[in-house]
Amino acid sequence: MKINITYNGIPHGIAADSSIAQALAVLNTANSTDTSTFVIALNQTFVPRSQYSSTQLQDNDEIELLSPMAGG
Amino acid sequence: MTEPNMKQPNDLLKLYDCEYNSRLLVGTALYPSPDIMAQAISASASKMVTLSLRRQDPSNKQGQTIWQHIQKSDCALLPNTAGCHSAQEAITLAEMSREMFNTDFIKLEVIGDDYNLQPDPFETVKAAEILIKKGFKVLPYCTDDLVLCQRLLAVGCEVLMPWGSPIGTGKGLMNPYNLQAIRDRFPTTTLIIDAGIGKPSQAMAAMEMGFDGILLNTAIAKAHNPVQMAQAFAQAVNGGRQAYLAGLMESRQTASPSTPVLGTPFWQQQ
């Protein structure tokens, strides 16, 4: 069974009962294991790295994965 | 005697409980290349740089390169909340920035209008109050409104960053009267002019007025020679600071000769 989530604005289907960490392994193919290179918000709420494995995703959840960028 | 252009050793920029021996803060965006950005930051002698968080694009290697250059510099980090339009968005982004960059400093930016990128005063105060309670060292980007500055101080901000003019315009100090009023009203608050500075002379003018620092990006990054312009801004900010500390003469309405009148040659009593 799958649930629908939005990852950085793009819809995806992932396995139900997935944690953030499990979803990252599927979605964030570039850097899923090196969590020092990005940070995450779930439904516009910050999620600390320590909670990636324990936070279970629900249908229609929205994940924002952000990385350092130039800024003024 | 202090040599011209020499910084006074104890004249440091105070941001909350931290002190920096540069009064110029620079952004990291819009440079022709990451290498030129790194050279310009070095030339500016800045000790604090701004940066941001954005959605990850694995195909965009430039973002990673810029981050690597910034990590190699000895500058403290000032992450921003650019692009946020509500207090909640800014708070979430600030929390994400704290974990990513391991700093409590945040340049709070909540935009109220996309036409001139004017900060939203109401959402900015709301976000600042919550972030201060969460332990952030908030540097709010705000307009030159005296009462807004009062409100930001009341919720615990120790630094204020009024705009000179809208971001990226290069129009300098749009409203010197308001800025001077803020400086005079809050004489012990660290005040940094953020946004709108286009020329070193404008930065110098702000420093001569007694502002404590300048934060800019576009004027350096978009110069034909960003490295040379970074040096120019460093000198201007330092020069303006020295002039402020030295004490400017009072302007007069009428001329007054500087050369002694007594003994003027070719003068005949009529």
Q: Is the per-residue pLDDT at A63 higher than 90?
A: yes
Structure tokens at B216: 């800019």
B42 in reach of chain A (CB within 8 A): no
Q: Is B222 a catalytic residue?
A: no
How much is the average pLDDT of B177-192? 98
- Produce one character per residue of B51-89: b if its CB has 16 or more CB atoms within 10 Å, e if not: bbbbebeeeeeebbbbbebbeebebbbbbbbbebebbbb
B27 touches chain A (CB under 8 A): yes
Q: Which amino acid is at B232?
A: A
Query: CA-to-CA distance for B156 and B78, rounded, in angstroms?
Result: 18
Give phi and psi for A8, each to the nearest 5.
50, 45
Q: What's the confidence (pLDDT) of residue B229?
A: 98
List residues of chain A with CB under 8 Å from any CB of chain B: 8-9, 28-31, 38-41, 44-46, 48-49, 64-72
Interchain CB distance below 8 Å, B54 and A40: no
**How deeply is B253 buried, as exposed, middle or buried, from its count of CB atoms within 10 A (0-12, 13-18, 19+)?**
exposed
- Which residue of A29, A31, A69 is in closest CB contact with B53? A69
Q: What average pLDDT does the structure give for chain A?
A: 91
CB-based contact (8 Å) between B54 and chain A?
yes
C-alpha span between A63 and A20 (Å, rounded): 9
Which of B57, B70, B96 would you mutate first to test chain A, the one with the most A CBs within 10 A?
A: B96
Residues of A in contact with B67 (CB under 8 A): 67-69
Which residues 81-120 of B are in CB contact (within 8 Å) with A? 82, 88-89, 92-93, 95-97, 99-101
Total number of residues shown for chain B: 270
**DSSP helix/strand/coil, B218:** helix
Mean pLDDT across chain B: 94
d(CA B34, CA B32): 7
Instruction: Label residue A37 by pLDDT band (50, 70, 90).
Output: confident
Residue of chain A with shortest Cα separation from B33: A70
For residue B190 the two structure tokens come to 């660290």
- How far apart are the C-alpha atoms of B210 and B128, rounded to whole Å? 25
In contact, B173 and B199? CB cutoff 8 Å? no
Residues of B in contact with A51 (CB under 8 A): none
What φ, ψ does residue A46 adopt, rounded to 5°? -65, 135
First to last CA, chain A: 44
Among candidates B52, B58, B96 on the partner chain, residue whose Cβ is nearest the Cβ of A70: B52
What's the rounded Cα separation, in Å, for the pair B73 and B48?
A: 10
pLDDT of residue B249: 94
Q: What is the pLDDT of residues B206-258, one digit of tens each?
A: 999 999 999 999 999 999 999 999 999 999 999 999 999 999 999 999 998 89
Binary contact (A66, B54; C-beta < 8 A): yes
| Predicted model pTM | 0.92
Q: Tell me the CA distances in angstroms from B220 to B6, B30, B196, B215, one per residue in order.
A: 23, 9, 12, 11
Element spanning B39, H or E: helix B34-44
The model's confidence at residue B2, banded by pLDDT at 50, 70 and 90, is very low
Per-residue pLDDT tens digits for B111-148 = 999 999 999 999 999 999 999 999 999 999 999 999 99
Closest CA relative to residue B186, chosen from B168, B160, B213 = B160
Give the pLDDT band of residue B171 (cuts 50, 70, 90): very high
- What are A1-31's pLDDT values in tens digits? 899 999 999 999 999 999 999 999 988 766 6
